[in-house]
Amino acid sequence: MKEVAIIGVGIHKFGRFENKSYLELGQEAAQMALRDANLQWKDVQMAYLSKMYLPATSGARILKPMGATGIPICDIEAACASGGIALSQAILGIQAGAFDIVMVLGTEKMPRGFMDPSMIYEKWQIQMGMDTNPSYWAMRARRHMHEYGTTDLHLAKVAFKNHKNSVHNPYAMYRKEFGIEEIMNSPLVCDPIHLLEICAPNEGSAAVILCPKEKAAQFTSKPITVAACVPTNAYYSADFRAPVDSLSAKAMNPGPTEMAAKKAYQQAGIGPQEINCFEVQDTDAFCEIEIYEQLGLCKKGEGGRLLDEGATEIGGKYPVNTSGGLISKGEPIGASHLGQVFEIVTQLRGEAGKRQVPNAKVGLAHVLGAGNNCAVTILKV
Amino acid sequence: MPHPSSNEKKQIPIKEGLFTAPLSPVERVRLMGSQCRDCSEISLGKRQTCSNCGGGNLTEIPLSRKGKLWTYTVIRHKPPGDYKGPDPFVPFGLGLVELPEGIRVLSPIQCDLERMKVGMELEMEVYPLYSDENQNEVMAFRFGPV
């Protein structure tokens, strides 16, 4: 199959921007990606917008003011994994020969506080109070603690690492280091998950421009190859996440992350040991520990040990969330995966400054969310 | 035949197909499952299709009232949206309860929050959560210590 390369990336900082509309957030990221690829908007042949909260036809509303060039513009939604689906659609279009230059934009401007539950849950679940998103993360964490001895300290170590990494990322929201005790003493949201161990929904945008790899040299001296991009939805009863009302106690299917990662490793011909940097869905600190195991960075139940060894710090064997992760960047849902891709591309180009992983050649981005949607993307130099 | 008095409230399920009928006496009500005749997997409530194998050959199966806590958390802030629980809000347990039929059901856990523990024995209770605009009692479920 035709190889596809990323020739430009752009980002608007993740955070809160009271005086900016989503149009401005999106246009800034799109223009930055165009400049990065030495292209103009009129060169783009197809555009996707990844979003969850924005209104209908937001893609056209954001991009058409940059020039009504007549190209198709399409919005895509798959909760936290929206960006992964949008990216895979762009790649398929290029591989099919339908387009040469495709933009994938992710933009979000979300209300403060808990997400509107009626977008995800049924009425009876909301009325009974079973619609607090972090409760799902908390219950998975509690079970992992019960089965494998994972501790509150392990969770705090994830948050400590990610907040610390974000200090050097100008596009992250918090950029503030928190001590282990401060994290563990922050208020419990859903036991055992503390406030400083979860991500906040927020605002931001990121953009990626792709083309056939054989044409990439026309636009950039630093093309990044897409080695795999695998979106998926979980097998039966394989993932406990909003808005699931029950689980099978008998079915033993691999989780969505394991499934997507396995396919992505096969497609790329690259295993986890050969990957130099990872951006993963740390909606909460526990989630990151579970993902270490599901990506194959360690055996099941050993995610806590991996943290104790410092393996996932910058400078460790498997640096995870060098950007600060969602815990420190916040999660503008539609922009999330493309923000991860921005970070991996920055790392593979060697442009990550103080958070640079030395000699990074291969990187992996992973998203996972409501409806059991998941995506794994592997990029290489 | 005696008629129910006109001021007696009618009880309706919070979700159609979630409970066995009738809804009274509540001590006899059970959660309803749908079991697939092809793969034997059970889903909560009334379903048309098995989400494991895709088959359409389902049969209703009343679920046990007793089970064990498989995992849990504590909801410490008022849930978002139209929550019908106590006002002012009182923190409550939420957990997955494993039933002998081979299904784990997400449920509020009515229990001393300090005493919640994986593996504890629980029993289901059906209770009126709120009265709707037609003065019906809307019946919900929760689990608590046996």
pTM of structure: 0.95
pLDDT of residue B3: 52
**Stretch A102-111: mean pLDDT, rounded?**
96
For residues B98 and B122, what is the distance between their CA atoms, to the nearest angstrom? 9
The mean of the pLDDT values for chain A is 97
A248, closest residue in chain B (CA to CA): B103
Inter-residue contact A231 to A82 (CB < 8 Å): no
Under the banding of pLDDT at 50, 70 and 90, the label for residue A116 is confident
* Min Cα separation A251/chain B (Å): 8
Contacts of B108 in chain A (CB under 8 A): 128-130
Residue of A nearest to B16 (CA): A124
Q: What is the DSSP string of A181-214?
A: HHHHTSPEEETTEEGGGBPPB-EEEEEEEEEEGG
Count of C-beta atoms within a 10 Å radius of residue A40: 13
Residues from chain A that touch B18, judged by Cβ atoms under 8 A, are 124
pLDDT in tens, B65-76: 999 999 999 999
pLDDT at B7 (0 to 100): 58
Confidence of residue A172 (pLDDT cuts 50, 70, 90): very high
Query: Is A3 a residue whose pLDDT tops 90?
Result: yes
User: Is residue B1 over pLDDT 90?
Assistant: no
DSSP string, A343-374: HHHHHHTT--GGGPPTT--EEEEEEEEGGGEE
Q: Which of A114, A122, A123, A135 to mutate to test the interface with B (most CBs of B within 10 A)?
A: A135
Whether pLDDT at B9 is above 70 = yes
pLDDT in tens, A271-312: 999 999 999 999 999 999 999 999 999 999 999 999 999 999
Q: Which residues of A touch B105 (CB under 8 A)?
A: 245-246
Identify whether A80 is a catalytic site residue: yes
Q: Do B42 and A248 touch (CB under 8 A)?
A: yes
Query: What pLDDT does A1 receive?
Result: 85
Average pLDDT over residues B39-67: 96
Asked whether the beta carbons of residue B81 and residue A118 sit closer than 8 angstroms, the reply is yes
Which CATH number applies to A4-113+204-209?
Answer: 3.40.47.10
Nearest to B102 among A135, A240, A248 (CB): A248
- Residues on chain A touching B76 (C-beta within 8 angstroms): 187-191
Mean pLDDT of A220-247: 96
Q: Over 80: is that where the pLDDT of A95 sits?
A: yes
Q: Where in chain B is the domain with CATH 2.40.50.840?
A: 64-146
Per-residue pLDDT band for A351 (boundaries 50, 70, 90) equals very high
A vs B: CB pairs below 8 A: 131
Confidence tier at A374 by pLDDT (50, 70, 90): very high
For A276, which DSSP code? -
Name which of A188, A189, A246 is nearest B44 (Cβ-Cβ). Answer: A246
Which residue from B120, B124, B79, B85 is spatially nearest to B106, judged by alpha carbons?
B124
Structure tokens at A265: 């490793």
Question: Over 80: is that where the pLDDT of A31 sits?
Answer: yes
Domain B64-146 top-level CATH class: mainly beta
Closest approach of B4 to chain A, Cα-based (Å)? 28
pLDDT of residue A209: 98
Q: How far is A122 from chain B (nearest CA, A)?
A: 9
ipTM of the complex: 0.95
Of A314, A291, A320, A318, which Cα lies nearest the Cα of A303? A291
Residue A112 is predicted with a pLDDT of 83
Q: Which position among A80, A199, A229, A287 bears the catalytic label?
A: A80
List the single residue in A with minimal CA-CA distance to B53: A236
Nearest C-alpha in B relative to A188? B76
